Amino acid sequence: MSYDCVIIGGGPAGMNAALVLGRARKNVIVIDEGHPRNRVTHEAHGFLTRDRIHPSELKRIAKEQISLYPSVSFTEDTATAISGTNGQFHIKTSQGQTYQSKKVLFAVGMKDFPLDIPGLTEVYGSSAFVCPYCDGWELQDQHLVLIYKGADALHMAKIISGWTKQFTICTNGPDEMTEPQREELKQHQIPVYDSPIQSIQSKGGIVQQILLDDGTPISCRGIFFRPKLTIGSDLPQAIGCQMTESGTIDVDLFGKTSVPGVFSAGDSVTHFHQAITAASLGSIAAAAINNELNEEAWTKQISL
């Protein structure tokens, strides 16, 4: 099976890329394993015209609208291997399929490492979140706990103060702060605890309190924490894509990777993890892919 572009990943980046390429009359298949990172959340926020929509409903509507463009198809499968060069890539899947494609778009997102704080899994996506721009509104004026350390703790304190003034910082071990950073938090009367977290106690997914190893209980109704992430697939590295020091795929403004014919978009190329950002990056990459395909076809016609 041969395509103009194989899109690996069916989140907002991959779906929006499929829409743009479908409208450009390109033959596309989206390979999606069906396990998005946002499956733990109940609502997606900050997406114009779709604020507070359930992530699965957003995806359903996207597929329904893309179905108007017959050159786009979908398969629930996992891409397991990639080889080839610009114009002739080969992608193999866990179900034994092999797809040939002129271009490849990695929209593989990021994946969470296992959560290492007891009780955090039970509240993740319900009352423990990673992005205040996604979920700060729902926790406004509540007593929150920020699980951060070092400069990140001070940075997050400044950000979250726009939603609530009632918050405590738990560094879950040595705070890794400088004395000026500690002093700044003290001046703003922000409590900081460096005792390791023993457990997060909750009811029905809503955090009730955090218990520290030294016996200190901290009552709260929400948590923001820094997740430990890894890229959603090892295929970009397998085909030779250059990575950044922070673990994202290195791309230019149009989503081009260091490998000719290979593009990437969405959470795998940025630290600003919002659905609308991913969709935008998918649209940009798709336009760049379409431009390359058209230019190559134009040049090929002349050489015939």
Domain boundary among 191, 207, 225: 225
The tens digit of pLDDT for each residue in 59-103 reads 999 999 999 999 999 999 999 999 999 999 999 999 999 999 999
Q: Kindly compute the dihedral angle of the four CA atoms of residues 31, 33, 36, 37, in this order, to the nearest 10 degrees.
A: -110
Count of domains for the chain: 2
- Based on the fold, state whether residues 200 and 259 are members of the same structural domain: no
Read off the CATH number of the domain in which 170 is found: 3.50.50.60
Q: Are residues 139 and 151 in the same domain?
A: yes
Do 234 and 105 fall within a single domain?
Answer: yes
Tell me the residue length of the chain: 304
Q: Which domain, by its residues, includes 283?
A: 2-112+228-303
Instruction: Provide the pLDDT confidence category of residue 287 given band limits of 50, 70 and 90.
Output: very high
pTM (2 d.p.): 0.95
pLDDT tens figures, 254-281: 999 999 999 999 999 999 999 999 999 9
Give the mean pLDDT of 1-26.
97
Q: Say how far apart CA 180 and CA 61 lie, in whole Å.
A: 50
Looking at the fold, whether 276 and 261 belong to one and the same domain comes out as yes
Whether residue 190 sits in one domain with residue 47? no
Question: Mean pLDDT, the chain, as a whole number?
Answer: 96
Tokens of 243: 């990575």
